Amino acid sequence: MKKVLVGMSGGVDSSVSAIILKEQGYDVYGATMKLWTPDGENVASTDAKKVCDKIGIPHYTIDLENQFKSCVIKKFIDGYKNARTPNPCIECNKYLKFGAMYEKAKSLGIDYISTGHYAKIEYSDKYKRYILRKSKNLEKDQSYVLYNIPKNILEYVLFPLENFESKEEIRKIACDNNLLVASKPDSQDICFIPDGDYKNFLEKNSDLKSKEGNIIFHGEVIGKHTGLYKYTIGQRKGLGISHETPLYVIGFNIEKNELIIGEEKDLYIKSFKVKDYNLLLIDSITEPIKVNVKTRYKSLEHPAIISMDGNLINVEFEELQKGVTSGQSAVFYIDDIVLGGGIIV
Residue 324, C-beta contacts closer than 8 angstroms, at least 6 positions apart: 233, 269, 272, 295, 330, 344
- DSSP conformation class of 169: H
Note down pLDDT in tens along the chain; length 345 residues.
Answer: 999 999 999 999 999 999 999 999 999 999 999 998 766 555 667 889 999 999 999 999 999 999 999 999 999 999 999 999 999 999 999 999 999 999 999 999 999 999 999 999 999 999 999 999 999 988 999 999 999 999 999 999 999 999 998 999 999 999 999 998 888 888 767 889 988 999 999 999 999 999 999 999 999 999 999 999 999 999 999 999 988 999 999 999 999 999 999 999 999 999 999 999 999 999 999 999 999 999 999 999 999 999 999 999 999 999 999 989 999 999 999 999 999 999 999
What CA–CA distance (Å, rounded) separates 193 from 76?
12
Q: Edge to edge, what strands does the sheet with 213-217 contain?
A: 220-225, 213-217, 258-262, 248-253
71 is catalytic: no
How far apart are the two ends of the chain, measured CA to CA in Å? 46
Choose, from 52, 71, 89, 92, the residue flagged as catalytic: 92
Predicted confidence (pLDDT) per residue in 9-33, tens digit: 999 999 999 999 999 999 999 999 9
Q: Is 18 helix (H, G, I), strand (E, B) or coil?
A: helix
Superfamily holding 3-183: HUPs (3.40.50.620)
In DSSP notation, 67-112 reads HHIIIIIHHHHHHHHTT----HHHHHIIIIIIIIHHHHHHHTT--E
Residue range 210-266 forms a domain whose CATH class is mainly beta
Angstrom distance (rounded) from CA 158 to CA 161: 9
191 catalytic residue (yes or no): yes
pLDDT for residue 291: 98
Q: How many Å apart are CA 237 and CA 235, to the nearest integer?
A: 6
pLDDT reported for residue 186: 81
pLDDT per residue over 311-332, tens digit each?
999 999 999 999 899 999 999 9
Percent of the chain whose pLDDT exceeds 90: 88
The whole-angstrom separation of Cα 252 and Cα 241 is 17
Taking the C-alpha atoms of residue 302 and residue 46, their distance in angstroms, rounded to an integer, is 42
Torsion sign over Cα 28, 33, 34, 39: negative
Spatial neighbors of 187 by CB under 8 A, at least 6 apart, are 9, 11
**Can you name the CATH fold of 268-344?**
Elongation Factor Tu (Ef-tu); domain 3 (2.40.30)
Contact (Cβ atoms closer than 8 angstroms) between residue 108 and residue 100: no
The structural domains of the chain, with segments of one domain joined by +, span: 3-183, 210-266, 268-344
Quote the pTM value. 0.94
Q: For residue 23, give the nearest of 151, 160, 147 by alpha carbon.
A: 160
What distance in Å separates the CA atoms of residue 204 and residue 77, rounded to the nearest whole number?
11
CA distance linking residue 316 with residue 135, whole number of Å: 27
